[in-house]
Amino acid sequence: MKIVLRSPFDAHLHLRDGELLTRAAALASRQFAGAIAMPNLAPPLTTPEMCADYKSRVESLAAEPFAAFPALFLTDKTPLSPPDFNVFKPLAVKLYPAAATTNSENGVNIGAENLARFGDFFEMCAANGVALSIHGETNGAALEREAEFAPIYAALARAHPNLKVIMEHISTRVLADLLDRHANLYATITLHHLLYTIDDLIGGALKPHLFCKPVVKTAADRAALRELAFAAREKVMFGSDSAPHLRSAKEGSRCAAGIFSAPVLLPKLAELFAENAAISKLQKFVGDNARKIYDFRLPDREITLIDEPFTAPNEIAGIVPMCAEENIAFSIMK
Q: What is the pLDDT of residue 82?
A: 65
Query: What number is the average pLDDT over the span 193-214?
Result: 96
Residue 282 banded pLDDT, cuts 50, 70, 90: very high
The four Cα atoms 61, 66, 67, 68 give a dihedral, to 10 degrees, of -40
> Does residue 268 contact residue 286 with C-beta atoms inside 8 Å?
no
Decide: helix, strand or coil at residue 204: coil
Query: What number is the average pLDDT over the span 74-88?
Result: 80
Give CA separation, 47 vs 39, 43, 92, in Å: 10, 11, 13
Domain count, the chain: 1
241 is catalytic: yes
Cα separation, 291 vs 12, in Å, equals 14
Nearest by Cα to 182 from 215, 152, 218: 152
111 has pLDDT over 80: no
| From 76, 241, 300, 307, active-site residue | 241
Question: CATH number, domain at 312?
Answer: 3.20.20.140
Half-sphere exposure of 298 (CA within 13 A, CB side): 28
> Does residue 98 contact residue 107 with C-beta atoms inside 8 Å?
yes
- Threshold 0.85, pTM exceeds: yes
Pairing, β 327-328 against β 34-37:
unpaired
Strand partners, 38: none
102 has pLDDT over 90: no
Decide: helix, strand or coil at residue 240: coil
> Does residue 324 contact residue 313 with C-beta atoms inside 8 Å?
yes
Q: What is the pLDDT of residues 7-52, one digit of tens each?
A: 999 999 999 999 999 999 999 999 999 999 999 999 999 999 999 9
What phi, psi does 98 have (nearest 5°)?
-55, 125
> Does residue 322 contact residue 264 with C-beta atoms inside 8 Å?
yes
Top-confidence residue, 100 or 228: 228
Angle at 156 between CA 151 and CA 162, to 5 degrees: 145
Range of the domain at 235: 2-332
